[in-house]
Amino acid sequence: MAYSTDLIRNVAIAGHGGTGKTSLLEHLLFQGGAIGKPETVESGKTVSDYGDDEIARKISVHAALSHVTVKDVKINFIDTPGSSDFVGEVVLALKACESALVLVDGKSGVQMETIKLWRSLEARKQPRAFFVSRLDEERASYAKSLEDIHEKFKVNPVAITIPMGEGSGLKGVVDILNQIAYTAPSSHDQKEVAGPIPADMQAIVAEYRAKLYEAAADGDDELMEKYLGEGELSQEETLRGLGESIVAGSCVPAFAGAGARNVGTAALLDFIVSVVPSPKHAHPVPAKDAAHAAVEVPIDPSKPASALVVKTQIDQFSGRLSFVKVVTGTLAPDMEVVNVRDSRKEKLGKLYTAQGKKLEEAGSLAAGDIGIIVKALDLKTNDTISTWDKPVAYDKLKLATPVHTLAISAANKKEEDKLNESLLKAAEEDLTFQVHFNAETKETVIAGMGELQINMVLDKIKNAQKIVAETRVPRVAYRETITKKAGAEYTHKKQTGGHGQYARVVFEVEPVERGVGYVFDNKLFGQSVSKGFIPGIEKGIHQAMENGIVAGYPVVDVKTAITDGKEHPVDSSEMAFKIASRGAFREATKNASPVLLEPIMNLRVFVEEKNLGDVMSDLSGRRGRISGQNPLGGGIVEIDAQVPQAELLRYAIDLRSMTSGTGSFEVDFDHYAPITGKIAEDVIKAAAAFRTHEEEEE
Ligand SMILES: Nc1nc2c(ncn2[C@@H]2O[C@H](COP(=O)(O)OP(=O)(O)O)[C@@H](O)[C@H]2O)c(=O)[nH]1
Ligand SMILES: [Mg+2]
């Protein structure tokens, strides 16, 4: 049986690390009856922190799917990690879920990762609500947290619940919408039970209730007229109006509670079922049609089936799990679908849903639902599967480019292949972790969002495969070029006995525009060198360009003209011209004031205002050129700069420590620029040392 689209709700649980997301979810599942006993994060037995790595570190690392059925409505939850190292998991959760529940710690207020999360929710215009958590702790304050939310995000959160007492005096919450109170259970593994609102809270509840009506009537003329006329709305009108305001983004509901104490869960579940919009009312899903034109596809069960793979997990026991978001139609077991990426047919087996690590057979999955296909070996994250005649491909997850790179090799050389295989597998599971071989520096380079993520990938490989990896700062792909015009002539001659070798070329080299690479100009007059030898000459130049003369890095952006040459009727050959050409090019570049080039990166740094000064002066210390500074709201500033790659090799680590973990950045290659003086000398020295080391190893 499939849950029909209007009986589905999808909620991503997100927010800064440690705000209590996993604990809250555990108790939502318990309160809703999906699990018999709620566990603590510390015990390592919660539904959503089930990975070995999560249990060991007591933090969420992977997006975890779970669900609970309340009043016939299936609520899918995706719990997400809070650390920016695992932001890829948040992105996929937001893609699969129409709504997001954003947690804010009642003591600390809005923290950095939540600000970044908010920006992406704004960009998607995604319906969202706040849960102010951990209100049972000393110095926690609901009112202060809502103020902080207002200040940082310029929204007026509408309280659906308010706490009864705070800190050690937290006695439960009042549900303003339903006008009932939930007393805090005596222990976290007891359910919340509804009761009457205490007499001393009636007045304040009435105040909050008025705000609720306003939020419900906002944007709906008919409701507004009624509210202004009668001073209230019926329960049915309030629910409908709130639902519409949430979709429109004009209303951001707020909840109070303490997840780990099971305070505030009942009212939240009720709200998700009765007010949060079903996927039918969600924004359409962006896609590309066969001609790559942008289209938008509404979530609609009446169309043929289609779904997007949002996550791939390679499970030790169940094999390959492909998490899908169904967009149209209904996915049924054993259905035949087409993978839009390569038009290959894929036969689905049984379909599943999950309660954390526990897979449950789901029957069919209707539009809007989230489920799991098992053992579909050809399915990858971002694939669209479809039964349409003219299928569209849903837009891929918009992931940040990984910024922390390391060169890697196996401690035991014999395990190099096995290590690479494991790394590629990890990259399939997490698209913000990448592996590639850099042919220029001859290193396998891994890239991730931060040290934590990379360490966790390597730990997993060490534990599961017993392969120990060694990492180091990657080499910079320096290049070489020339700075003026110069020439050289070179004769290759070996004519002692037998068949001889003879070739002579005269070259002129000159710099060309950055990025042009290689240019060859044949300026030969007459028949001094036969046409047939020209390919040999070009090969010689290519060979010489592979290893430059300053420090052995590739030579770029040089135009080579052959102006003269000489051949011998018997002793000349392609090989002889190749050797002569190589020699002439090297001589000519030596005469043309060669220099080293280094890669310059475009850098965008996001920091809190209080760190701005430190981060800016650090950037100038890194030879950075700052080109702009934009306040992004919420006290966050974006700094734009160009910085040499050599200065950014440890930036992911250094920026974190400069900003107590709150700063982040994006980086991409821009251009190559010359280096001279002491910096160039150091590069030359290091290159020479590296070559000696390599020769010794051979
Ligand atoms: N006192 C108190 N502690 C909580 C509450 N919720 C979570 N915690 C604790 O805060 C820590 C982080 O909780 P967790 O659920 O893993 O947060 P997440 O990183 O947002 O998933 C754990 O030690 C929890 O026991 C709460 O409501 N009250
Ligand atoms: Mg967690």
Residue with the larger pLDDT of the pair 231 and 538: 538
Q: Give the pLDDT confidence of 496-549 residue by residue, as tens digits.
A: 777 889 999 999 999 999 989 999 999 998 778 999 999 999 999 999 999 999
User: Which residue ranges make up each domain of the chain?
Assistant: 5-197+252-281, 285-394, 404-472, 480-592, 599-679
The identity of residue 11, as a single letter, is V
Band (pLDDT 50/70/90 cuts) for residue 81 is very high
At 696, is the pLDDT very low, low, confident or very high (cuts 50, 70, 90)? low
Identical fold for domains 5-197+252-281 and 285-394, yes or no, is no
Ligand nearest to the CA of 48: 2
How remote is the CA of residue 40 from the centroid of ligand 1, in Å? 8
Distance CA 586, CA 588 (A): 5
Write the CB contacts of 643 (distance below 8 Å, at least 6 apart in sequence): 600, 601, 603, 619, 622, 623, 624, 625
pLDDT digits 0-9 by tens, 373-414: 999 999 999 999 999 999 999 999 988 878 899 999 999 999
Quick one: average pLDDT of 468-483?
95
Beta bridge partners of 322: 312, 373
Query: What pLDDT is stored for residue 697 in this prediction?
Result: 57
pLDDT digits (tens, 9 = 90+) for 169-184: 999 999 999 999 999 9
The pLDDT, as a whole number, for residue 633 is 72
Residue 490, φ and ψ in degrees, nearest 5: -150, 135
In this model, does residue 88 exceed pLDDT 70? yes
Check pocket membership of 18 for ligand 1, CB cut-off 6 A: yes
Name the residue with higher pLDDT: 30 or 115.
30
- Helix crossing, 534-546 with 574-591: angle to 10°? 50
C-beta of residue 134 within 8 angstroms of C-beta of residue 258: yes
pLDDT band at 695 (very low <50, low <70, confident <90, very high): low
Q: Decide: 663 in ligand 1 pocket, CB within 6 A.
A: no
The pLDDT of 475-482, averaged and rounded, is 94
Please tell me if the CB atom of residue 136 comes closer than 6 angstroms to any atom of ligand 1: yes
- State the fold for domain 5-197+252-281: Rossmann fold (3.40.50)
Q: Compute the distance between CA of residue 652 and CA of residue 657 in angstroms, rounded to an integer.
A: 9
264 within ligand 1 shell (Cβ under 6 A): no
DSSP secondary structure letters along 416-435: HHHHHHHHHHHHHH-TT-EE
Whether pLDDT at 561 is above 80: yes
- Residue-wise burial string across 654-686, b where 16 or more C-beta atoms lie within 10 A, e elsewhere: bbbebbebbbbbebeeeebeebeeeebeebbee
Domain 404-472 has CATH 3.30.70.870: yes
- d(CA 42, CA 672) in angstroms, rounded, equals 50
Q: What are phi and psi of 185, to 5 degrees?
A: -65, 155
CB 83 less than 6 A from any atom of ligand 1: no
CATH of domain 599-679: 3.30.70.240
The values of phi and psi at residue 668, to 5°, are: -145, 160
* CB 678 within 8 Å of CB 596: no
What percent of the chain lies above the pLDDT cut of 90? 83
**Residues whose CB is under 5 A from ligand 2 (ion)?**
21-22, 60
Q: Which residue has the higher pLDDT, 231 or 370?
A: 370
**Top-tier CATH class for 480-592:** alpha beta
34 three-state secondary structure: coil
Tokens of 214: 């306003």
The answer to whether residues 587 and 580 touch, using CB atoms and an 8 Å cutoff, is no
Into which CATH architecture does domain 285-394 fall?
Beta Barrel (2.40)
CB of 387 within 6 A of ligand 1: the answer is no
Pick the ligand that lies closest to the CA of residue 80: 2
